[in-house]
Amino acid sequence: MQKAEIQFSEGVHEYLLASLREPEILKRLREETSRDPHAIMQIPPEQGQFMSFLVKALGVRKALEIGTYTGYSALTVAMALPDDGKLVACDINEEWVGIGRRYWKEAGVEHKIDFRFGKAVRTLDALIKSGEANSFDFIFIDADKASYDEYYERSLSLLRPGGVIAIDNVLLFGRVVEGSLPDAEPGSRMNAADIDAMRKLNLKIRNDPRVDETMLPIADGLTLVRKL
């Protein structure tokens, strides 16, 4: 057997989860979100811990999040930032973000999070126009898949050289290979256009001379891009 053929059993997955240092406040937010019909959109705790580790290892001070949902990833990043760090978070659903705000405040990181309501492309364009190009250390993309290429290009403009973009759901439950739609994934809004868009972006990033890149089999696939 090759390592690439190894499939984790439920027991091995539980062993992995037992190794996590998930703060209680993150656990409570994750558990509250799990009751939402769209909970599949939330990143799992092992991905959250990886992102926290990455933010600390990179010395991130200024971050951007495209797609906030109920705020678990935002809370993860904000808790990893220094006290004077800043996270710009974008989403189009204030009700979902309202859940996260309660936890951001309780965790004492609300002052680090600058939430921008509205379509992310407009927010990103406004950031570029206001002179914030080449100023972000870390960017997390986890929003509507059909717009990923637009988010990617604008993120490259906003990211400083040496900064990192983390792109979520690059495997789309394996549909980037299998080609068919998922069988009624609860809360999933995936369609054929999403699969096509993700395939094209994955290929584009692999061949993009502007960046270093690596695709990791964490959760639903996470690609890391470092701007050259």
pLDDT of residue 5: 58
CA atoms within 13 A on the CB side of 195: 14
Per-residue pLDDT tens over the stretch 115-167: 999 999 999 999 999 999 999 999 999 999 999 999 999 999 999 999 999 99
Where in the chain are the domains? 3-227
The reported pLDDT for the residue numbered 184 is 42
CATH 3.40.50.150 fits 3-227, yes or no: yes
Q: What is the pLDDT of residues 67-113, one digit of tens each?
A: 999 999 999 999 999 999 999 999 999 999 999 999 999 999 999 99
Percent of the chain with pLDDT over 90: 84
Radius of gyration of the chain (CA): 17
Flag whether pLDDT at 183 surpasses 60.
no
- Which H or E run includes 200? helix 192-206
